[in-house]
Structure 1
Amino acid sequence: MKLYTYDPAPNPKRLQLFINYKGIDIETEQVDLMKLEQFKDEFRAVNPVATVPTLVTDEGVVLAEVIGACVYLEEKFPDKPLLGTTALEKAQVISWDHQIFNTCLTAVAEILRNGNPNFAGRALPGGLDIPQIPELVERGKLRLAPAFRAIDAALADSPFLVGDSVTLADIDLLVCTEFCGWVKESVPEDCANIHAWLPRAREALGL
């Protein structure tokens, strides 16, 4: 296997935390997004969509979505499961993964990509020329607090989002809380359950 990634970025960090927790040894190559290396011919020959992380499997198949790479690695390396152990837990982890990505992560991405001049013409990941929409900055900010409060309610009676141990859902939430700092946003102060969960999640992931 080979992993193409960029450590500081949120989506690569989601996958890297997954890999680190399981102790998987994978050949890794950094693709510097700040230098726009994702658009170089060499990388686009691997992943034409020009996004990271990109995992090339032992079979030579390119997995360019975090959830796909995680499912593959969970099957290959089942020890220390991160996608649940029962049918219900697996469904819950995937559901949380989808919810956190579509609410929290995309809200921060809206703020960043539509408000930062460095993303002019690149308002969405990938190689398409997509103009920024300034109004989406405010929409992203409006979306964040309600999304975090919904998650906070779910943590009221549980140490982690699914069951009694850390999962990909917790990894996604942790990465999202850190990604907020990129746009000078944060978890609302009244989300006491998330604030109590943060050190617990970091400890569980060995951070």
Structure 2
Amino acid sequence: MHLYTYDPAPNPRRLGLFLAWKDIDIDTTQVDLMQLEQLGEAYRAISPSGTVPTLILDDGTLMTEVIAMCDYLESLYPQKPLMGTTPLARAQVLGWDHHIYMNAFTAVAEVLRNGNPNFADRALPGPVKIPQIPALVDRGRERLRRGWQAYDDALSGRDFLVGDALTLADIDLLVCTEFAGWVKESLPEDCESLLAWRERVRQALDAG
């Protein structure tokens, strides 16, 4: 396998934390998003979507979605599980992942890609030119604020999103809280359960 990624970006960071937790070592090439290498001919010959991360399997199969990579790697490396240990838990992890991506990641991305001049004509990832819609900046911030409250409510009385152990859902939500900083958004002080959860997740990841 070979991984093409850019460690500082949010989607690569999701996968990076997954790999680190499970002690998976994959040959890796960094694709510099700051230099727009992901849109160059050389990288698009490898990954036509022009996005990172991209995982190339030994048989040439190409994967470009983090959730698919994690699900595949979980089946190969089941130790230190991050996708749940029962069918119900796995379904719950996938459900939370979908919710986080649709309601939190995309909210931050709306703000970033529609309000930052560096993303002119790149309002969506990939090589196709998409114009910015400035009105989506305010909508994204409002979506994010509502999202923080929803996650705070869900974590009330709970240590983690699913069960009593760290899962990919926790990793994804943690990365989203970091990604929000890219648009100068932070967790509200009154979201006490969410703030306490973030500290637990950070400690768990540090402990390995």
TM, length-normalised to structure 2:
0.98
Please tell me the residue identity of whatever aligns with 1:199.
Answer: E
Please tell me the residue identity of whatever aligns with 2:71.
Answer: V
| 1:92 corresponds to 2:89 | no
Once the two structures are overlaid, the 10-residue window that deviates more, 149-158 or 87-96, is: 149-158
For the aligned residue pairs, the C-alpha RMSD in angstroms reads: 0.9
**Structure 1: distance between partners of 2:22 and 2:3:** 15
Residue 146 of structure 1 corresponds to which residue in structure 2?
Answer: 146
**Structure 2: distance between partners of 1:44 and 1:129:** 15
After the TM superposition, which parts of structure 1 deviate over 4 Å for at least 4 consecutive aligned residues? none
1:27-46 residue CA offsets vs partner (Å, 9 max, x unmatched) = 01000001000012221111
**Structure 2: distance between partners of 1:196 and 1:155:** 9
Residue 107 of structure 1 corresponds to which residue in structure 2?
Answer: 107
Residue 161 of structure 1 corresponds to which residue in structure 2?
Answer: 161
TM, length-normalised to structure 1:
0.98
Please tell me the residue identity of whatever aligns with 1:137.
Answer: V
1:58-110 residue CA offsets vs partner (Å, 9 max, x unmatched) = 22211000001001110111100100010110000000000000011100000
1:117-148 residue CA offsets vs partner (Å, 9 max, x unmatched) = 00000000000100000000000011011111
| 1:119 corresponds to 2:119 | yes
The 3-state SS of whatever aligns with 2:206 is coil
**Structure 2: distance between partners of 1:58 and 1:206:** 31
State the identity as a percent: 62
Residue 175 of structure 1 corresponds to which residue in structure 2?
Answer: 175
Residue 33 of structure 1 corresponds to which residue in structure 2?
Answer: 33
Q: Which runs of 5+ in 1 are unaligned?
A: none
| 1:56 corresponds to 2:45 | no
Residue 135 of structure 2 corresponds to which residue in structure 1?
Answer: 135
Q: How many pairs are equivalent?
A: 207
The 3-state SS of whatever aligns with 1:205 is helix
Residue 18 of structure 1 corresponds to which residue in structure 2?
Answer: 18
Once the 2 structures are TM-superposed, how far is the Cα of residue 151 of structure 1 from its aligned partner?
Answer: 1.0
Q: Which runs of 5+ in 2 are unaligned?
A: none
